[in-house]
Amino acid sequence: MEMRSRAISAVAVVLVLALSPPAAVADGGWMEAHATFYGDESGAETMQGACGYGDLFQQGYGLDTTALSVALFSDGWACGGCYEIQCHGSPDCKPDPVTVTATNLCPANYSKPNENWCNPPLKHFDLSKPVFLRLVTDFRVGIIPVQYRRVPCAKKGGIRIEITGNQFWIGVLVFNVAGSGEVKALAVKGSGDGQWRDMKRNWGQIWDGDVHKLVGQGLSFSVVASDGRSVLLDSVVPATWAIGQSFEGNGQF
């Protein structure tokens, strides 16, 4: 749910979403799509993607990740969601499915509408090469038909907050989110004034707001997931925080 106005308080956002019917993460039904891979065995090309997560090894995602086609990416709101994918209908299929987290965008190429599997309305997963090799007997098969479904994300530890930006702009990256995996609303409160401030998603899962006004204050965050559940990360960031640091909260979905 997108925040309609800066005037809506963080508490109101949490209450509205918490009272909304939870969105189904996995209803057991499989849907049709296609999949391939990008990069090599190291997974280097999967880092620094369109969700803003950066070093996926450092942040706990590793290579069990996927880039989503435009139709699935939902302008970045799908970042952090988890998918179970199985090869289907190809003689090169291996029997076991894989579970991956969405961390990147497979961009469209509108100059070649019939040649790019990531153009809408196609549903396509661009996997790391090691994950793709868990689905097929030979990576040279290229693009394969798959079935997929949304599943809950299983993450170790609490939700993590990273302070990002520079001397002119400060943002917040939210990652390692379990449950639906997708953050739909975020609010921040400084220890000095105790005022909740709604934040706005800038791109991927990087959010901005009035964080520059909270320098020297400890920070608490209210995180609302796409299924309507909320978690309060109370005093998760100490007053000595600096850009580039990340912090783990006690809360998790």
Examine the domain organization and report whether 50 and 102 are in the same domain: yes
pLDDT of res. 115: 75
pLDDT of res. 28: 59
E runs forming strands in the chain:
31-38, 65-68, 82-87, 98-105, 124-128, 144-151, 160-165, 170-175, 183-190, 196-198, 200-203, 206-208, 219-225, 230-237, 246-248
Number of alpha helices (DSSP H) and beta strands (DSSP E) in the chain: 3, 15
In a domain, 26, yes or no: no
For residue 15, what are its two tokens?
Answer: 């209450």
Examine the domain organization and report whether 106 and 125 are in the same domain: yes
More confident of the two residues 6 and 27: 27
In a domain, 5, yes or no: no
Which of 108-112, 140-144, 229-233, 245-249 is predicted with the least confidence, judged by mean pLDDT? Answer: 108-112
In a domain, 94, yes or no: yes
Examine the domain organization and report whether 130 and 237 are in the same domain: no
Q: Find the CATH number of the domain harbouring 234.
A: 2.60.40.760
Residue 139 φ/ψ, nearest 5 degrees? -65, -20
Examine the domain organization and report whether 130 and 166 are in the same domain: no
In a domain, 35, yes or no: yes
Final residue of a structural domain among 136, 151, 166: 151
- The whole-angstrom separation of Cα 101 and Cα 67 is 9
Examine the domain organization and report whether 219 and 133 are in the same domain: no
Examine the domain organization and report whether 140 and 197 are in the same domain: no
pLDDT of res. 114: 75
Final residue of a structural domain among 151, 183, 217: 151
Quick check: 5 pLDDT over 90? Answer: no
* Tens-place pLDDT, residues 10-59: 333 333 333 333 344 545 589 999 999 998 888 888 988 999 999 999 99
Final residue of a structural domain among 151, 186, 217: 151
When divided into structural domains, the chain yields a total of: 2
Examine the domain organization and report whether 85 and 173 are in the same domain: no
pLDDT of res. 4: 31
Quick check: 116 pLDDT over 90? Answer: no
Q: Find the CATH number of the domain harbouring 39.
A: 2.40.40.10
Cα angle value 66/108/142 (rounded, 5°): 55
* Tens-place pLDDT, residues 65-106: 999 999 999 999 999 999 999 999 899 999 999 999 999 999
pLDDT of res. 13: 35
pLDDT of res. 41: 85
pTM: 0.86
Stated as kind and residue range, the H or E segment containing 104 is: strand 98-105
How sure is the predictor about 123, in pLDDT bands with cuts at 50, 70 and 90?
very high
* Tens-place pLDDT, residues 164-204: 999 889 999 999 999 999 999 999 999 998 999 999 999 99
Examine the domain organization and report whether 200 and 90 are in the same domain: no
Examine the domain organization and report whether 161 and 71 are in the same domain: no
Q: State which amino acid sits at residue 20.
A: S
How sure is the predictor about 9, in pLDDT bands with cuts at 50, 70 and 90?
very low
In a domain, 25, yes or no: no
In a domain, 160, yes or no: yes
pLDDT of res. 49: 92
Q: State which amino acid sits at residue 126.
A: D
**Cβ neighbours of residue 144 under 8 Å, at least 6 residues apart?**
34, 35, 36, 87, 90, 92, 93, 135, 136
Asked if 204 and 198 touch (Cβ cutoff 8 Å), the reply is no
In a domain, 3, yes or no: no
Examine the domain organization and report whether 111 and 205 are in the same domain: no
In a domain, 1, yes or no: no
Domain boundaries, position 103: 31-151
Please confirm whether the linkage preceding 145 is cis (ω < 30° from 0): no
Examine the domain organization and report whether 123 and 230 are in the same domain: no
